[in-house]
Chains A and B, each alone.
Chain A
Amino acid sequence: MRRLPIYFLIDVSESMVGDPISEVQDGIANIIQELKTDPRALETVFISIIVFAGEAKTLVPLQDIISFYPPKFPVGSGTSLGKGLGHLMFELRKNLVKTTAEQKGDWKPIVFLFTDGVPTDDSSTAIREWQSNWKKTANLVAVSLGDGADAHILNQLTENIIHLKNTDHSAYKEFFKWVSDSIKTSSESVENNKSGFELANLASANLEEMDVTKDSRGENTHKVDDNFVVISALCQNTRKNYLMKYKKVIKQSNFAGIELGTKSYRLNGAYQVDDTYKELSGNEEIKLTVNTDELIGAPTCPCCGNQIAFAVCQCNQIHCIGDEEVTTCPGCGNRGKYGAGTGGFDVNRTRG
């Protein structure tokens, strides 16, 4: 029997924290549920999930649908597409069964790459390796979740770039339906000795093929994902990491006849993250800041419920404070009193 290996390479950078990651998590679970109703897919499709942020990691090793158990998705800091691709190629090399005189090999693997942002690393080496070793031996579909992805970079990997325009719940639902339909048509296609790669029709208004020529950003390498500001903090009481996520809003204003856009970031939510956060975050020092004047809204601590999640120690550690008189910084151990700050100040942000 020949396997049809399906790889999901999923961006779990901090901008995915909150709704996007739970949509992806539920989406993958739904794909598996859906494929279980198709006897053909159930017998031939094998699935693996690789996640990447600053680092990459195999979340689910290649396995059949019967043994698949829905995983919990982690998040990390950074969008290292290079490391994600590198890890994918490592898994492909390790797992793919080649056809020889003695055995029937796998069908051509299909890779679904989901990303919501621009790479924060220099991915060119990994992209070149993909082009020379894998572009012909695997089918890759790149999916931009929302408007954040860089079509120019994705286009170097594949001609199949899909744009998920809306990122609300129903759009995600339609999108994952399309993914499972595409897997089904492909598993049917291999059986008919066709190429084994047939994407389902893009019947939804939320999905379209991405037009690379219309992406205006050009080929500059971006080092930070500017659609979101994500701030990493430590809970004073539980010493757990949490993330505060702000989404970019551009407010158009007209000043003396001149069109002006003011950029600010609106609070999206605060989320506790577990130990995999550190594991998946790149460890190089980053010095990116955002001025608190640009941030709208302040959350409570998602770990302990402290009223203020956004206090900054002189060591730059962001942490939560409650109504205690003396606060201990969970980063450096400094004790001190906090007063309300006046005016904006710069705080470290992550790469998203």
Chain B
Amino acid sequence: MNTTNDYIKKLLETKKKVINNSLLHEFSSDETYQEKVQTIIDIQNEIMANWEVRSRIIEFKNESVRVPNGTQNIEYSHTFDTSLIQKHQIISFDLDGLDELGLTFDKETGTLAGMPETSGNFKIKILFNVKGEGESAEQNEKLIDIVFNPDPKLLWKNIPSDTEAIFWKEENSSISDTLGEKSIIISSKRGRSHQNDGTFRDDDFAYKHFDENDWSVIAVSDGAGSASFSREGSKVACNEIISYFENEILPSKELDAIEAQLDEFSETKNETILTEAENEAKKVLYKAVLHAHNKINELAQQTFEENEALFNRKNTSYNAEYFHATLIVTAIKKTKIGYVILTFGVGDCPIGIVNKDKTEARLLNWLDVGEFGGGTRFITQPSIFHSKERPMVSRFNMHIQEDFSHLFLMTDGIYDPKFEVEANLEKTEKWLEFIDDLEGKNEDKIGIDFSAELPEAEAQLNNWMDFWSKGNHDDRTLAIIY
């Protein structure tokens, strides 16, 4: 009765009618009008309820529902957040389109799980009903994105380099040998980056043990990635160091004279004699380095004359730029006062030594590093011979140590992933960790048994060289004297 009265009054007001109270009373007392008004109110309520249901469905459809990315061939599991279900008054929730993705959905726990078989961006369908929808109501649909990433390790291709190309080089190379009382194993491998592009290994190495006077010389070089013939630059740099020792230094007996001075020092402890020996040693090594520099220049000139068309890069000022390579050299001999180790370095490849008791490590050269990669220096650059900031003489070193457990020469393909920054090369514990890693203390449990026969140790080193390191896919060269 009251409801009918209120309703009709409101209707009249809306229609801007003058309200006659007795007429209004008559209408609202009439049963037929009471029924009609009730019907109107029922219909309105139904419309409102439907409106609410539709709004809930639209709201949930507009809600951003995210599931985390998965990776191909790695177990996936994600449990949906129940607060979303509550917020949108969802009464039933299911997923569709999972079969081809290799996933299943557990409605009880709200967990989506399985093994993604392929990679890519996919859609999955949420099937849902909201509060107010009947038992038999059709399920509403909402599409959401699901992303399966490829396994990054599987993306790297291994394309052989072109054997017909100028200055072609073997992709991997290794050796093992004895150096007097010590052993040496060296491995050099083409980086994944070059494998992926079918380009050449830019790293190189050379070594020789001279039986007649027991000196050993080891050279390691890293060709600049941006220089088109750096693979040859690194090769020539290493080989020319060895051949200069063989053809010039040893025949001239210069090293014998230095050794005599060191013997004298071991007896007299006369520091002046030691300094003299050191200066002489640096001069000897300097000549070898200058020789290597000149040989690359000659090669560059000759290559230019024969293949001028290949020298087409902008902003180059001399031909040897096409052969840019770093260089580290170590000449070593056991003498009366212990091991004499002469070193030279240009570029960012370290030479490190660890003492016999494995309690102390030392970096024997300093590295040319710069903030944005441009800071490194090459044996091919004339400027290194007369730089004021980085005097040539400081690149040479003579180190004497009674005995050692390991002596390492490596390119940045090893140093970057294993030491990361220059400062770590100054830390003994980092070198000891490095030895542990070499002996198998790593993710893959792959190591070198340094007491094994040489060919076996060489094979183990080759195997170890394939370690995985995210973002580090440069050529790798490592020489170990032990």
Contacts and interface: CB of A to CB of B under 8 A. Distances in A.
A314 to B, nearest CB: 19
A43 B371 contact: no
A194 B224 CA distance: 10
A37 B120 CA distance: 10
Contacts of B422: 101
Interface stretch (A11-19, A104-112, A262-270): A104-112
Contacts of B225: 191-194
Contacts of B14: 326
B472 A1 contact: yes
Contact of A69 (B69, B155, B474): B69
A67 B373 CA distance: 28
Nearest to A103: B421
Contact of A68 (B69, B376, B423): B69
Interface stretch (B31-39, B144-152, B267-275, B398-406): B144-152
B243 interface: no
Given A2-B471, A36-B149, A193 B224 contact: yes
B226 A194 contact: yes
B64 interface: yes
B145 A70 contact: yes
B193 interface: yes
A29 B471 contact: no
Nearest to A71: B64
Nearest to A193: B373
Given A69-B145, A192-B226, A326-B14, A40 B473 contact: yes
Contacts of B155: 37-39, 42
B119 interface: yes
B64 A101 contact: no
Contacts of A66: 69, 71, 149, 152
Interface residues of A, number: 37
A99 interface: yes
A39 B152 CA distance: 6
B423 A67 contact: no
B152 A42 contact: yes
Interface string A56-84: 00000000011111101000000000000
A44 B471 contact: yes
Contacts of A39: 152, 155-156, 192, 196
Interface string B372-384: 1110100000000
B109 interface: no
Contacts of A274: 62
B159 to A, nearest CB: 13
Contacts of A70: 121, 145, 147
Interface string A91-129: 000000001111111011000000000000000000000
A239 B187 CA distance: 71
A33 interface: yes
Interface residues of B, number: 39
A165 B416 CA distance: 44
Interface in B349-385: 371-374, 376
Contacts of A43: 152, 470-471
B66 interface: yes
B420 interface: yes
B66 A69 contact: yes
A99 B473 CA distance: 20
Interface string B176-217: 000000000000000011001000000000000000000000
A1 B470 contact: yes
A89 interface: no
Nearest to A101: B423
B151 to A, nearest CB: 10
A317 to B, nearest CB: 22
A29 B145 CA distance: 11
A190 interface: yes
A253 interface: no
B374 A193 contact: yes
Nearest to A105: B371
A166 interface: no
Q: Which of B64, B149, B226, B469 has the most CB of A within 10 A?
A: B149
Contact of B150 (A37, A67, A105, A192): A37
Given A44-B471, A193-B226, A33 B121 contact: yes
A54 interface: no
A38 B193 CA distance: 11
Contacts of A44: 471
A196 interface: yes
Interface in B57-71: 62, 64, 66, 68-69, 71
B374 A1 contact: no
Contacts of B193: 40, 191
A307 interface: no
A195 interface: yes
Contacts of A68: 69, 147
A43 B422 CA distance: 22
Nearest to A72: B64
Contacts of B470: 1, 43
B23 to A, nearest CB: 23
A67 to B, nearest CB: 6
Nearest to B157: A39
A326 B15 CA distance: 10
A54 B150 CA distance: 38
Contact of A196 (B192, B372, B469): B372
A29 B473 contact: no
Given A2-B471, A69-B69, 5 more contacts: A39-B152, A43-B152, A66-B71, A67-B69, A193-B373
Interface of B: 14, 62, 64, 66, 68-69, 71, 119-121, 145, 147, 149-150, 152, 155-156, 192-193, 196, 224-226, 371-374, 376, 416, 420-423, 469-474
Across the A-B interface, give the 4 residue pairs with the lowest CB-CB distance, nearest first. Answer: A192-B225, A1-B471, A193-B373, A39-B155
16 contacts: A1-B471, A29-B121, A36-B119, A36-B150, A37-B155, A39-B155, A39-B196, A42-B150, A66-B71, A66-B152, A70-B121, A101-B422, A107-B372, A191-B474, A192-B226, A196-B373
